[in-house]
Amino acid sequence: FIEAAATELDMGIVWQGSGVDEKGIDPDGRIIVAVDPRYYRPTEVESLLGDSTEAQRDLGWRARTTFQELVAEMATADLALARSEMNESHPPND
């Protein structure tokens, strides 16, 4: 997901470290994503897969949003929120 979001926002990302020490670094050397120990679950399973077969069969549910569309929507919204928060904490000088 992170790599797809970085691509959506035209941001390069390189991974350094592993496990709790893994970080995503942008081309300027800034850390743009890192593991936060508060949310790290060492017993987390490596791969989680959902199966919508029952929802499709029993409810007639169908996905209307692709993974890439979801990534684009979330990345764009998060970038807008980050810019808004940055502007609030650092208003332009008049």
User: Is 9 within the bounds of a domain?
Assistant: yes
Categorize the per-residue pLDDT at 19 as very low, low, confident or very high, splitting at 50, 70 and 90. confident
- Residue 30, Cβ density class (10 Å: 0-12 exposed, 13-18 middle, ≥19 buried): exposed
pLDDT at site 15 = 97
pLDDT at site 44 = 66
Number of domains in the chain: 1
pLDDT at 68 over 60: yes
Q: How far apart are CA 3 and CA 68, in angstroms?
A: 11
The token duo for 48 is 């989680």
pLDDT at site 7 = 94
pLDDT at site 80 = 94
Q: Give 32's Cβ-side CA count (13 Å radius).
A: 18
Across the chain, mean pLDDT equals 89
- For residue 24, which of 48, 1, 44 has the smallest C-alpha distance? 1
pLDDT at site 37 = 83
Instruction: Find the CATH number of the domain harbouring 24.
Output: 3.90.25.10
Q: What residues make up the domain containing 24?
A: 2-41+51-89
User: Is 10 within the bounds of a domain?
Assistant: yes
Task: Find the helix or strand (DSSP H, E) in which 34 lies.
Answer: strand 31-34
User: Is 94 within the bounds of a domain?
Assistant: no
User: Is 46 within the bounds of a domain?
Assistant: no
User: Is 85 within the bounds of a domain?
Assistant: yes
pLDDT at 88 over 90: no
